[in-house]
Each structure stands twice: as C-alpha cells, then as structure tokens.
Amino acid sequence: MSFTGTQQKCKACEKTVYAVELLSADGVGYHKSCFKCTHCKSRLQLSSYSSMEGVLYCKPHFEQLFKESGSFNKNFQSPAKSADKSTPELTRTPSRVAGRFSGTQEKCATCSKTVYPIEKVTVESQTYHKSCFKCSHGGCPISPSNYAALEGILYCKHHFAQLLRRREVTTT
C-alpha cells in the first residue's frame, strides 16, 4: 500500500496541501501558515477571521474596511464623538479631604473616563488610558515613541503613512 498524497492546492500559494497542514475555511483549503489577513498579514484562526469574495481578513480590518461609516473616507475612522454634554455636572465642590482620596480628575481623551496614574499615558497635553492609546485606524498598539496624530486622532506610523498617501491621491 502506497501513500499518494492529496490533490488539494492551497488557495493562497497554490502549492499542494497535505492533511497535516490542511486548514479548510469556507470550503477552501489553505496551509496553516498561509491563512493570513490580506491587509496586515497576521495569522488567522478559524474562530477569528472574515472573508469577502474569497479574500481573508482579521476581524478588525474586515470591520474597518467594509462596515458603513457614513464618511466619505470609509477606510479611516472619523474623530471620536464627544461625550454627551446633556448629563448634569455636580455643582458641589469636593472637600479638601475628599480630594486627597478621590484619585485624579484627569479624563481620557478617547473614552472620557477617569485616568488613574497607574494606567496613564500623556502625549501632546492629552491623557489616555494605556488600553485607549491605540491606532484609531485598526486598533494597532502604539506607544508615545511610535505614534502620529492628525487633528487629534492617533495612528500607528504605518496607517498614518497610508492616510497621507490617500490624501495626496484625493487632492491631486
């Protein structure tokens, strides 16, 4: 008895996929190493991928690229909406003693919630939670040393360069 292998080809690289490497998504075979997001090239899992017309995406990039945004530039998020101002503010000033124990009055520029010192990131006179300090384009992690901001919106350097290229194309 001899083993003849398989005739199935990987959709991404078009090479033979053997059973031990086979990952089947939407009835199509892939090598595990070829099952990647078309946009960011990150490896995908069967539980966390989306596809459009046979093209694979991670969930964040699929939503970013295909959900309706109401904006003329659907590939980049518009600035975060400001918090609802209709909520009445407390009119009483806290006592000195309360001020010592209540923490901080600083609010996150992204979510408008209180930022405590242990989770605080400050850039360009704005305060953020560490978890809110991320690229607004794809949620990519950023740090104070590797980010870019345009009109108060944070980007990783890769997505910022992409935005600038798109703006150049639309203005010419």
Asked if residue 37 belongs to a domain, the reply is yes
Residue 164: how many CB atoms within 10 A of its CB? 13
Q: Look at residue 43 and tell me if it is in a domain.
A: yes
pLDDT tens, the chain, 172 aa long: 455 556 788 988 989 988 888 888 888 889 999 999 888 888 888 888 888 777 888 888 877 777 654 444 445 544 444 444 444 445 555 555 555 555 567 899 889 998 888 888 888 888 888 888 888 887 888 888 888 888 888 888 888 888 888 877 776 6
111 domain-assigned:
no
Structure token digits, residue 8: 């199935």
Domain containing residue 12: 7-68
pTM beyond 0.85: the answer is: no
CATH number at 12 reads: 2.10.110.10
| Neighbouring-strand partners of residue 31 | 22
Contact call for residues 3 and 19 (beta carbons, < 8 A):
no
Q: Are strands 28-31 and 120-123 parallel, antiparallel or unpaired?
A: unpaired
Domains contained in the chain, number? 1
Given a contact cutoff of 8 angstroms between Cβ atoms, the answer to whether 16 and 9 are in contact is: yes
